[in-house]
């Protein structure tokens, strides 16, 4: 399988790097040379999007961002003018008598008993009841309306398990998915290849591809599709061809 290649556009300088291996790109992200706002596209596709939207690269951005918030001990001393950090007192670092004297507190004698603190809950209960009455009087009841829940987008024709489905009908048309729909129809083999490459880039693991061809579809068309998928500059998993079992 060929190495996964991408194009990268650096917004700060306007420089575009062509056919850059993804492994090399992750090294640039780890050292801070590339940011999440810079753009990425499958090699030669001109389908630009922010690097932060690619799941497998977003992990490296998060690791680099977290490393910026941690300073080594020598950097902490440098920021304080080279002075050693102030001593912090811990239990057992000095005697109880010295610690008590330093804060002006005297430990109770053996004959004295400290009264355990208690919390009066009555004022809190009064406040809660007043808030309940306020909300009941000021609230306006309305008929519940349907809430539109956002759908999970795994890519056109990609299952929840991350498998790309491709359908070829009896007339030789291409569809992304297992059902021929107008919104999933691809106008050409080139458009199908571009969409498959974009879907593969969104997956964290290599994406398997299953091709379901109609019994009247031409064998040459299926073979051309497999060759086109093998020549993509993205990392794909296994390419399988579905068959209809005899009854």
pLDDT of residue 38: 92
**Could you read off the pLDDT of 132-156 as tens digits, one per residue?**
998 888 877 655 554 444 444 677 8
- Crossing angle for the helix pair 22-30 and 55-68, nearest 10 degrees? 20
Averaged pLDDT of the chain: 76
Mean pLDDT over residues 34-50, rounded? 90
Average pLDDT in the 85-112 region? 42
DSSP one-letter code for 4: P
- Ordered structural domains, the chain, with CATH: 5-68 (3.30.1490.40), 163-242 (3.30.420)
| Gap between the Cα atoms of 172 and 108, Å rounded | 92
**Residue 44 per-residue DSSP state:** T
pLDDT at residue number 183: 87
User: Torsion over CA of 221, 222, 228 and 229, rounded to 10 degrees?
Assistant: 160
Q: How confident is the model at residue 2 (pLDDT cuts 50, 70, 90)?
A: low
pLDDT one-digit tens code per residue, 178-202: 888 888 899 898 998 899 888 888 8
């Amino acid at each position: 399988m060929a190495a996964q290649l991408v194009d990268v556009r650096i917004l700060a300088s306007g420089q575009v790097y062509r056919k850059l291996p993804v492994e090399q790109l992750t090294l640039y992200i780890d050292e801070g040379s590339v940011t999440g706002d810079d753009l990425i596209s499958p090699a030669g596709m001109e389908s630009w999007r922010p690097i932060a939207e690619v799941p497998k690269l977003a992990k490296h951005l998060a690791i680099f961002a977290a490393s910026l918030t941690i300073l080594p001990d020598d950097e902490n001393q440098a920021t304080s003018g080279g002075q050693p950090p102030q001593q912090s007192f811990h239990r057992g670092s000095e005697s109880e008598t010295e610690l008590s004297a330093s804060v002006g507190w005297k430990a109770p004698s053996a004959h004295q008993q400290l009264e355990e603190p208690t919390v009066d809950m009555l004022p809190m209960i009064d406040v809660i009841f007043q808030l309940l009455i306020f909300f009941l009087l000021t609230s306006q009841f309305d008929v519940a309306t349907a809430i539109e829940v956002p759908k999970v987008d795994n890519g056109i024709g990609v299952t929840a398990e991350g498998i790309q489905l491709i359908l070829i009908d009896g007339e030789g048309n291409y569809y992304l998915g297992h059902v021929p729909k107008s919104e999933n129809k691809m106008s050409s083999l080139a458009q199908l290849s571009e969409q498959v490459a974009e879907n593969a880039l969104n997956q964290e693991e290599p994406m398997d591809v299953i091709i379901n061809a109609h019994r009247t579809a031409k064998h040459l068309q299926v073979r051309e599709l497999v060759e086109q998928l093998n020549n993509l500059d993205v990392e794909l998993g296994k390419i399988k061809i579905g068959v209809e079992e005899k009854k």
